[in-house]
Amino acid sequence: MQINVIPKSRFIHLCLLLLLSVTSYAKLYRGAEYRTFESFLYGRFELRIMSAAGHGVVSSLFTFRDYYAEGLDGAQHWNEIDLEWLGKLNNKVSTNTIIQNEWGDASEVFLSINPHEEFETYAIEWTPEAVRFYQGNRLLRTVSGERADSLYHPQKIMMNIWQPSYTAWAGAFNPDILPVYAIYDWVSYSAYDPGNGSVGTNNDFTPLWVDDFDFWDTSRWQKATHTWDGNNVDFTPANAVFNGGFLVLCMTTPLATGYDGPALSIDDEHPANPADFHLSQAHPNPFNGNTNFSLEIPYSGQVNINIIDIQGRIRNSGTIEVTANLKTNITWDGRDDYGDNLPSGSYIIMIGNQTFQETRKILLIK
C-alpha cells in the first residue's frame, strides 16, 4: 500500500482553503432563536425580559405561522405578531402584525422605562377580534378590523436576537459592542377562553403553562439553526443559554459564542413597576407545610390566584378581594383544589386579573 504524505505547509494551506469554502456563505455574527414546536391559535403570550441594547440589535417576542413546515411557500401564507425591542431605542418598543401578501403595520410605542436597563413584563393578547399589546398593566396598542380578521392561522411562539441589515430601521451596527444579551425571566401562555378565563382583558384567557427557564424543556422548545436575507447573524444553539433561572439569548462573533457575562440570580430581580403593584417573594421558600406571600395593588377588586405545576397544569385556584394600597397576606398549604397534598417539586404562583399578572417560583419539599 502506498501512502502519499502531504507536506505540513501544503496541509495547512489545504485546511485554510477548506475552511474558507465552508464559511464563505456564513454570516458575520451569531445570534439565537428559541421557538415552540407547537402552534397556537389565539391566546395571551406574556414574558418578562430585559432586552439587548445597541444600535443595529433587535430582541423579540413574536408569534409566527411556520408555513414552511406546512409545506407551503410564499408571502401569501405569512402571519406574524411582533413585539420587538430595538437596541437603539431606550424608551420604545416596536409592535407589528403581518398578514397574507401584505407587509406589516409596525408602530413604535412609548414605554415608561428603559427596556434595556430593567426587567419588565409585556404581553400580546390575540383574539379573533383584536390584537392587543401590553407593558405590564398598560395597554400600548390595539389592532383590529381587517388585520385582526386576517390573523386566523395557528402560530408558534418565538424569541430571538438578531442584527438586521436595514439600518434605517434598526440603526447602524458597530461590532465592537459584542457580545450583547437579551435576558428572559419567564414566558407564559394562556388560552383564549371567553366566559371561562381568569386572566387578561375581560378575564378571557385561561393560564395553561409558564416556563421559568430553569432548564431547556426539549419537549416544548427548540433552538433554531437558520437565517434569512437581511439578517446578518446565523442562529446557533450555543447562543441560547440557561443561567441562574434565566434564558439568555446572545449575539456574538463566530469565535466567541455563548454567555460570557456575570452569573445571574433570581434574587437580583425587582418588580418592574412597584408603584403599580407588588407581589412579594414566597417565604419560606423552599417550604414544607405553609408558604406565605403578600400582594399590594393601587385599586380594590378581585384578584385570581393559580398554583401551576411544571407541566403547566393548574393544581389550585381561587379568587380573593383586595383593598387598594393595603397589603393582603396569602398562605398556601401545598394542597390542590381537592384538598390533597401535592408532591414535592417546583410550582409557579400566578396572580393577576384583567389589568396585571405576576408570577413567583416556589419549591415544595415533603
By annotation, the residues acting in catalysis are 80, 84
Measured CA distances, 67 to 116, 169, 225 (Å) = 32, 26, 17
Amino acid at 149: D
Please list the residues that pair with 11 across neighbouring strands: none
Please list the residues that pair with 183 across neighbouring strands: 50, 248
What is the C-alpha R_g of the chain? 23
* CA atoms 2, 3, 5, 6: torsion sign: positive
Q: Which helix (H) or strand (E) covers residue 19, if one does?
A: helix 8-23
Amino acid at 134: Y
- Residues in the chain, overall count: 366
Distance CA 185, CA 247 (A): 7
Q: What are phi and psi of 355, to 5 degrees?
A: -115, -15
Contact 221, 36 (CB under 8 A): yes
Contact 157, 10 (CB under 8 A): no
Please list the residues that pair with 241 across neighbouring strands: 248
DSSP letter at 212 equals -
